[in-house]
C-alpha cells in the first residue's frame, strides 16, 4: 500500500484575531485560498480503492481536516460580512459628519437682512436701530459665540441682539448726560486686548469682522458703550459698593457654616414666558453643547446672566420645590426641561453635588471674600441702574 501523505497542518486564518479596523480583505482572501487544497493535492487524487484501503484513523484524520476547512470557510464568510458591515457603518458615519459640518458651516455663515434694504427695528429715545445695525450685530454674535443661527435659535438670537443694541443706546445716552468720555486710545487698546486674548495679530480682528460681514464701527461702538458704562457705574456706585470688616466677617462665617452642609452647584437660564414661544429646542441644544455658560450670558434674562448663569452653591431646600425637585433628579452635568415657575421659564444645569461627609473644600481668604462682595455690589448697582434707565426710556420696537 502506497504511503499516504497527510497534511501536516492547516493554516489558521484568524489566529491573530485582528480588529475590524485592522483587517485587510485582500490579505484575508489570500489566506483562505492558501488554506484550500488545490486539485493536485494527494487527498483529492485518491480513488475509491485507495480511500477504502485507508485505516479508520486515516479516514478520521481526513474528515477532521475537511471539517476544519469547512469551519474556516464559514469563519471567513462571517468575518468578511462583518467587515463589510463595518465599512458601511464607517462610510455612513463619515457622510453624517460631513453633512453635520456642512450644515454647521451654513448656520455660521454671515446673514443678510431684508436684502440690505434699510428697516427700522426700534427707536430708543428717538434714536434708531436699523436693519444694517442688526445685521452686523447678529453676524458679530455668530462670529464670537459660535452659536448657530438656525430655526431653533434665530428668534432668541434676534431678541438678544436687539435688547443688547437697545441697552447700548441707553448706556451711551446716559454717559453723555454725565459727561463721561471714552477716548479713541482707550477703544483701540480694548480692541488690541481682545486680539491678544484670542491669539490674534494686530489688525486681524478687522479682517475677521470684514469676512464675517460685520462693520468695524458697530463693533467699536459696542466697545465704547461698555467702557463708558463701566466708568459711569464706578463713578455713581462708589459709596454703594463700600464693604466693611463686619460685612466680610459675616460672609466668611456664612461660608464656613455652609461648608458643613450638603449642597449643589447650579446654573440657570431664565426667560420670561412672554418671550418664550418654545424653549424645548434650546434645552436640547444645551444637552449637546457644553457651553451652558455662554448661552446663559447671551439669552438669560436673570441678573445671573452676567456671570454665565451661575447661582453658585445652593443649600438643599433653598430653591422653590418645583425647581429643586427637577434638579435633584439630574446627574451631574444634566440639564432640565424648561420649567414654568411664576412668570418665568427656568432651564437649570446641575454642575456639582457637595457632600460634607465625603468632599472637602478650601476656605477662601478674607481678601477673596472682600473682592467677591465688592463685585457683587457693583453688579447689583449696575443691574438696578440699567433697569431704571429702561423704565424711564421711550423704547418703540418696530419689528
Distances (CA, A) of 273 to 202, 270, 338, 341, 346: 44, 9, 11, 9, 10
CATH class in words for 260-362: alpha beta
Cα-Cα end-to-end distance for the chain: 104
Please state the domain extents for the chain: 20-107, 114-241+392-397, 260-362
Q: Which three cell numbers stand for residue 316?
A: 438643599
Please give the order of strands across the beta sheet that includes 344-354. 310-315, 263-272, 344-354, 339-341
Q: Does domain 114-241+392-397 have CATH number 1.10.4080.10?
A: no
pTM beyond 0.75: the answer is: no
Q: Please report, in tens digits, the pLDDT of each residue of the chain (399 residues total).
A: 433 333 333 333 334 444 554 545 555 555 545 544 444 444 444 566 777 788 888 888 888 888 888 888 888 888 888 888 888 888 888 888 788 777 777 777 888 887 778 899 999 999 999 999 999 999 998 888 888 888 878 888 898 899 999 999 999 999 999 999 999 999 999 999 988 988 889 999 999 899 999 999 999 999 999 999 999 999 998 877 888 888 888 888 888 887 778 888 999 999 988 877 778 888 888 998 888 988 888 888 888 887 788 888 888 888 999 999 999 999 999 999 999 999 999 999 999 988 877 877 777 888 888 888 888 888 889 989 999 999 999 999 987
Q: Which stretches does DSSP call E strand in the chain?
A: 120-124, 127-130, 263-272, 310-315, 339-341, 344-354, 395-397
The neighbouring-strand residues paired with 19 are: none
Amino acid at each position: 500500500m502506497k504511503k499516504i501523505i497527510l497534511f501536516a497542518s492547516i493554516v489558521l486564518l484568524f489566529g491573530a484575531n485582528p480588529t475590524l479596523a485592522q483587517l485587510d480583505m485582500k490579505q484575508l482572501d489570500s489566506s483562505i485560498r492558501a488554506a484550500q487544497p488545490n486539485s493536485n493535492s494527494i487527498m483529492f487524487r485518491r480513488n475509491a480503492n485507495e480511500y477504502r484501503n485507508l485505516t479508520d484513523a486515516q479516514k478520521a484524520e481526513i474528515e477532521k481536516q475537511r471539517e476544519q476547512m469547512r469551519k474556516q470557510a464559514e469563519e471567513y464568510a462571517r468575518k468578511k460580512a462583518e467587515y463589510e458591515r463595518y465599512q458601511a457603518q464607517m462610510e455612513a458615519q463619515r457622510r453624517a459628519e460631513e453633512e453635520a459640518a456642512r450644515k454647521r458651516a451654513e448656520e455660521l455663515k454671515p446673514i443678510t437682512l431684508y436684502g440690505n434694504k434699510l428697516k427700522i427695528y426700534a427707536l430708543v429715545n428717538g434714536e434708531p436701530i436699523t436693519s444694517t445695525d442688526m445685521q452686523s450685530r447678529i453676524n458679530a454674535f455668530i462670529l464670537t459665540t459660535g452659536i448657530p443661527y438656525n430655526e431653533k435659535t434665530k428668534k432668541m438670537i434676534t431678541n438678544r441682539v436687539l435688547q443688547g443694541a437697545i441697552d447700548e443706546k441707553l448706556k451711551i445716552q446716559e454717559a453723555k448726560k454725565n459727561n463721561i468720555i471714552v477716548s479713541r486710545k482707550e477703544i483701540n487698546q480694548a480692541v488690541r486686548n481682545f486680539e491678544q486674548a484670542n491669539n490674534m495679530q494686530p489688525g486681524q480682528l478687522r479682517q475677521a469682522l470684514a469676512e464675517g460681514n460685520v462693520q468695524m464701527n458697530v463693533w467699536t461702538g459696542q466697545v465704547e458703550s461698555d467702557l463708558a458704562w463701566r466708568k459711569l457705574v464706578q463713578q455713581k456706585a462708589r459709596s454703594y459698593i463700600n464693604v466693611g470688616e463686619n460685612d466680610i466677617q459675616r460672609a466668611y462665617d456664612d461660608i464656613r457654616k455652609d461648608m458643613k452642609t450638603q449642597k449643589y452647584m447650579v446654573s440657570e437660564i431664565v426667560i420670561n414666558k412672554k418671550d418664550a414661544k418654545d424653549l424645548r429646542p434650546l434645552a436640547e441644544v444645551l444637552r449637546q453643547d457644553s457651553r451652558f455658560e455662554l448661552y446663559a450670558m447671551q439669552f438669560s434674562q436673570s441678573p445671573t446672566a452676567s456671570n454665565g448663569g451661575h447661582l453658585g452653591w445652593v443649600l438643599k431646600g433653598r430653591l422653590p420645590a418645583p425647581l429643586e425637585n427637577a434638579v435633584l433628579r439630574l446627574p451631574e452635568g444634566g440639564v432640565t426641561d424648561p420649567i414654568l415657575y411664576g412668570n418665568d421659564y427656568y432651564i437649570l444645569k446641575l454642575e456639582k453635588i457637595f457632600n460634607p461627609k465625603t468632599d472637602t473644600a478650601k476656605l477662601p481668604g478674607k481678601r477673596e471674600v472682600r473682592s467677591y462682595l465688592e463685585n457683587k455690589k457693583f453688579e447689583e448697582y449696575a443691574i438696578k441702574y440699567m433697569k431704571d434707565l429702561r423704565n424711564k426710556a421711550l423704547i418703540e420696537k418696530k419689528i
